[in-house]
Structure 1
Amino acid sequence: MNPKEITKTYTNGEVTILWQAALCQHSGVCVKNLHNVFKPQTQPWIQMEHASSEEIVATVAKCPSGALSIVENK
């Protein structure tokens, strides 16, 4: 599989982050805004247990490329 075609999801039970590798420009906005959740040197690189759902949603909304998006769990 082409690494650029990778799509991954991460959830905390309240919200789910969808990450689309092909769209990611590696601007670092997510890491700079919420470094305790977005850790590119760690696996998994998104660790949602380290922030509130509100903080996560606010940070994902700042993603300039749209590689990160939120799906609210029902």
Structure 2
Amino acid sequence: MDMYTNEFSNDEITVTYEPSVCIHAEKCAKQLSNVFRTSIIPWINLDNAETNSIINQIKKCPSGALKYHKNENKKAS
């Protein structure tokens, strides 16, 4: 059985998704569809928006299925 990871990272943050917690309100996909894409695997693409926009959207998740943490080893610009 294939297991898909539910952790997505860019240089600044790592986003985790817990499908068993998700209530499928679809706020993420409706409000930031360029990042949270329900018809594509992997369904989260952190390169499609600024990190602050992604963080703000994660904070709106009604179930708490989406979480994030800032990466400690951010690459130098």
Q: TM-score, normalised by structure 2?
A: 0.85
Which runs of structure 2 are paired with 1:1-74 in the superposition (5 Å)? 8-74=6-72
Please give the alpha-carbon distance, in whole angstroms, between the structure 2 residues aligned to 1:63 and 1:27: 8
Stretches of 4+ aligned residues off by more than 3 angstroms: none
Please give the alpha-carbon distance, in whole angstroms, between the structure 2 residues aligned to 1:42 and 1:7: 14
> How many residue pairs end up in the alignment?
71
User: Do the aligned residues in 2 keep the contact of 1:19 with 1:68 (CA within 8 Å)?
Assistant: yes
Say which one has the larger Rg.
2
1:14-58 superposed Cα distances (whole Å, 9 cap, x missing partner): 001110011011100001110100001101000110001000000
Q: TM-score, normalised by structure 1?
A: 0.88
Richer in strand (by share)? 1
Runs (5+) with no aligned partner, structure 2: 73-77
Identity of aligned residues (%): 37
User: Do the aligned residues in 2 keep the contact of 1:7 with 1:21 (CA within 8 Å)?
Assistant: no
Q: CA deviation at 1:7?
A: 6.1
